[in-house]
Structure 1
Amino acid sequence: MRHSTLALVCGLILFVVLAYSWCGRNPPSTVTGLPATPTPTPAPSTTTATPNVVASPSVSVAQVTATPPAQTPPPEFQKVAQKAEPAIIEITVFDAKGQLLRTGNGFFVSRDGLIVTSWTLVADAAYGVAKSPDGKIRNVPGVLASSQESDLAVLRAETKTGVPFLPLAKTSESIAVNAWAVVIGSSLQHKEQPVAAGTITSLGSDPKKDTFQISGAIPNDAAGAPVVDAGGEVVGIAAKNGLRPTGLLDPLLAQSKSATTARWAATPVESPTATPSPTPKFARNPRVISNPAPRYPYEARMLRSGPTTGSGKFRVTFGTNGLVKSVQTVESTGQAILDQAAIKGLQTWRAEPGAQDWTVLVPITFQP
Structure 2
Amino acid sequence: MKRITLLISMAITVFLCPLLVVAAGRYSAARCPETVSVLQLMYSDAQKDAKTYLTYANQASREGHEAIAQLFAALARSQEVLAENNQLLMAAFDQEAPDSSSGEVALHGTKHDMDLMINVGLAGVDKRYSLFMEMIRREGNAEAIASVEQERKIKEDHLEWIKTGRGSLGLLGGRLGDQYWVCNGCGAIVSNMPRAACAICSGRPTDFTAITGCWKVIWATENNPQLSKSEKAYVRRYCRAMFAKNPQDLPSRPAMGVFDSAAYRKWGIGPQRAFCSEEMIYVASLEEMVGSWDQYRQINLDTLTDPEKEYLQKMHQAFGQGPIDLSSKRGTGTLSAGLEKVLDEVEVLSGSKLLLDIDLIYIKRATTEP
TM-score (norm 1): 0.26
Q: Which has the higher contact order (CA 8 A, sep 6+)?
A: 1
Normalized per residue, which structure has more helix?
2
TM-score (norm 2): 0.26
